[in-house]
Amino acid sequence: MNQAALQLEEQYAQKFAKAKKAHRTKSLLKGLLFLLPSIILFSVFLFYPLFKTIYLSFFLTDSSGATTVYVGLNNYINIFTSPLFVKSFQVTFLFVLYTVPGTILVSLFLAILANEKLKGIGIFRTIFSSTMGISVAAASVFWMFLFHPSIGWLNQILAVFGIDAIGWLTDPNSALISVAISTIWMNTGFTFLILLGGLQSIDSYLYESADIDGASYFYKLRRITIPMLSPTLFFVITVSFISAFQTFGQVDMLTRGGPQNETNVIVYSIYQDAFMNYQHGVASAQAVVLFVIILILTLIQFKLGEKKVHYQ
């Protein structure tokens, strides 16, 4: 009697397990079906190129990009011993150093200004975020005119104050800074918009309570606004950081890597090696190195930043 009951229970348990398993498989398949468009897109445009690049970095290629000779790690050894690549390495880091803090500070300043409740503030918000809608190419052309040695506005303004003309894009000392300035201008719109959104999500009660407590404007800024904005700041810093490493368009338009390779950032160097010198293997090796650098720096940033960010 007891034995029979136990057996029955076991049978039921098996049945349940089977049904559960069938249910799980079904929901997994359903999930995959929904993911299919993304999987296909990512595979074609991300995963395949990524693995192909890693694969190519171990080979020499002909001009069409077909592999010819397996060289192992030689491509990597070559780029790290090449003074040209070391130079682009330095240039890229300098460029990141100029643009990331520049963009964040300018955008934060504008966002705090535009967060005030004033009449017609919408106009300023539109203006401040408008660079987001301008393509890199259009912005570069615009800045090229500003930077023009003789007819550019910047030099004309300097002339009004009796300062000698600066070869903004032609002088090796100022070329990188000039490109950085135009990049800061281009990135400000997006960063401004994100930071403004972050500011507006801060509860107004916090400021009212501080008002009653008698806190000054800068006290509120330091003790409430900046800490409450930290998750947003962290996000924009990370995104600007990655995009600064990947800068290509404005360099190509404004300086073509010159003068004297002063603006030859890594991505531009990759482009030159791959599509001007037809050395796809070397270019791939550089791309892999850049990928690893960005990956490591972002991970470090997350490790350090997470402790200082106050998520609500």
Partner 1 sequence: MNLVKMQELAKSYDNQYNVLDGINLEIEQGEFFVLVGPSGSGKSTLLRMIAGLEDISGGILKINDKVVNHLQPKDRNLSMVFQNYALYPHLTVEQNILFGLQAKKVSKQEQQQRLTETAEMMGLSELLKRKPKQLSGGQRQRVALARSVVSHAPLCLMDEPLSNLDAKLRAHMRIEIRRLQKKLGLTMIYVTHDQVEAMTMGDRIMVLNDGKIQQVGDPITLYNQPANLFVASFIGSPKINLGKAVVQGQQLLIEDSIHIPISSSLLSRLTEHQDLTVGIRAEHLLNGKENRNAHSLEVINVEQLGNETLLTFEVGSQIWTAKWLGQWKVSVGDMVPINISIDHISFFSTKTTELIKPATITTTEQEEVIV
Q: Which stretch binds partner 1 (CB under 8 A): 52-60, 84-92, 177-185, 227-235?
A: 227-235
125/132 Cα distance (integer angstroms)? 12
- Give just the sign of the alpha carbon dihedral 29, 32, 36, 40: negative
Q: Which stretch binds partner 1 (CB under 8 A): 58-66, 201-209, 240-248, 291-299?
A: 201-209
Q: State yes or no: residue 131 binds partner 1 (CB under 8 A).
A: no
Q: State yes or no: residue 62 binds partner 1 (CB under 8 A).
A: no
| Cβ at position 2, least distance to partner 1 in Å | 47
Q: State yes or no: residue 224 binds partner 1 (CB under 8 A).
A: yes
Nearer to partner 1, 72 or 214 (CB): 214
| Cβ at position 230, least distance to partner 1 in Å | 8
Evaluate whether 280 touches 56 at the Cβ level (below 8 Å): yes
| Cβ at position 309, least distance to partner 1 in Å | 9
140/128 Cα distance (integer angstroms)? 18
56/50 Cα distance (integer angstroms)? 10
Residue 88 one-letter amino acid: S
CA 69 and chain centroid, separation: 35
Residue selected from 25, 200, 201, 209 as contacting partner 1 according to rule CB under 8 A: 209
Q: Which two tokens stand for residue 184?
A: 């800061």
Q: State yes or no: residue 116 binds partner 1 (CB under 8 A).
A: no
Q: Which stretch binds partner 1 (CB under 8 A): 14-22, 130-138, 169-177, 224-232?
A: 224-232
94/177 Cα distance (integer angstroms)? 9
Q: State yes or no: residue 38 binds partner 1 (CB under 8 A).
A: no
Number of residues that bind partner 1 (CB under 8 A): 20
Evaluate whether 279 touches 208 at the Cβ level (below 8 Å): no
Q: Which residues pair with 61 in a beta bridge?
A: 67
Where do contacts with partner 1 occur on this chain (CB under 8 A)?
203, 205-206, 208-216, 219, 223-224, 227-228, 230, 310, 312
